[in-house]
Amino acid sequence: MSEVRTHAAGRWRRALAALALFLLLGEAAARLTGFVDRVNPMPRRLYVATDVPDLPYRLRPGVELEVQGSHVSVNELGMRERANPSARPAAGTRRVLVLGDSVAFGWLQEVDRAFPRLLQGDLRRAGGAWAGAEVLNAGVPGYAATTEAAWFRDHGEALHPDVVVVAVNLNDFDRVPHMNGLGILSTDDDRSPSWSPSNWSELWLAARWGWLLARGDARIARAPAVQATPAPRATDASGAPARWDPLDRYVSAIRKRFYHQPTEPQWGDLARAWNDVAERGRRIGARVVFAIFPDGDQVGVDAPDLAPQEKLLGLCRERGFECVDLTPAFLAAPAGTELHRDIMHPNDEGHAIAARVVAGYLLGSPAGDGGAPAPSGP
């Protein structure tokens, strides 16, 4: 009997050693092949964690990489901007700082085609006091109103802007993603406990994500290639473009429902964050403008749900914030014009319209959007 037990124990030891070797080699293979980074739609090299509670991560200073087909270069200040911007704007230069999330950042866009750089061009072409305008892009994918306010507090004020433009996405009330031990950004509904292998094992993530990818899970699907010429705008029974990803449509519907009946603490957090940016702007003598971007499913439909814009503009009137609603200009685009890459990110034409409207607003000429209706404000 003793020999049987010894033999069985030996088999278990060999099995455990083989399993340990398999896991060790698998972990090494997962890291060497970079599977996680190839599947992750939000590349972790782009971000670095901070120890500031209301600013959990920033763009990683000095990083340069390709993000889903677009080139991204981050300067030493952690901005998708030119290197070495001066601490103060040069004499005679009006500096505009753009805060925001992936819309301001220019997700899936080359930086020269994103809203901040286009805004700079429109302002400079106006000449006069704006001939030397400088627009700095402080957009960070995943940010919400609270993190935008924290970034402005910790980094933006020191740039001494003359104008602060907050590029408002309709999900800015949302909770900000957190960064786990492997540098992966995750939402609260996907938060793993501290002991989970998701925080330290790329093999575990590779296996889990490989399974999700095989199932076609939209959470990790790569963005589809964007057509150079937009396809005709097909619609479903509701009149919304049928091409929107089902998960995007679902999340967008949740956003719209929120504005019909805003809940706490999200709505209060957004209002307090906007107030903080506006107050800090006043203290440093900067004009603060909130530019509200529409979702793609609000454009090109017969009866768009504009509850988000109505609620946000109501907040602007109540608090005395300076706001410009970009929705009328988007709705005035010629029929069939595609203005979004996905349901929340404008394409080149959408960014160009936004830049023209905001430039016209700053210049004091609402007609500066090329004939679209005047921006709405408080």
- Position 4 scores a pLDDT of 62
pLDDT > 90 in the chain, percent: 58
87-136, pLDDT tens digit by residue? 899 898 999 999 999 999 999 899 999 999 999 999 999 999 999 999 99
DSSP 194-248: TTSGGGT-HHHHHHHHHHHHHTT-GGGPPPPPPPSSPPP--B-TTSSBTTS-HHH
Residue 335's alpha-carbon distances to 177, 293, 330, 374, in angstroms, are 36, 19, 11, 19
Question: pLDDT at residue 305 above 80?
Answer: yes
- Closest by Cα among 257, 249, 329, 332 to 291: 329
CATH number 3.40.50.1110 is the correct assignment for the domain at 57-179+235-369: yes
- Position 1 scores a pLDDT of 60
Mean pLDDT, rounded, of the chain = 83
64-84, pLDDT tens digit by residue? 998 888 899 999 999 999 998
HSE-CB of 107 using CA atoms within 13 angstroms: 22
φ, ψ (nearest 5 deg) of residue 271: -60, -40
pTM across the whole model:
0.82
220-270, pLDDT tens digit by residue? 554 433 333 333 444 444 444 556 888 788 889 999 999 999 999 999 999
Tokens 């040069």, residue located: 90
Distance, CA of 137 to chain centre? 12
- Position 25 scores a pLDDT of 75
- To which H or E segment does residue 288 belong? strand 287-292
38-57, pLDDT tens digit by residue? 666 678 889 999 999 999 99
Domain ranges of the chain: 2-40+181-214, 57-179+235-369
Greater model confidence, 276 or 365: 276
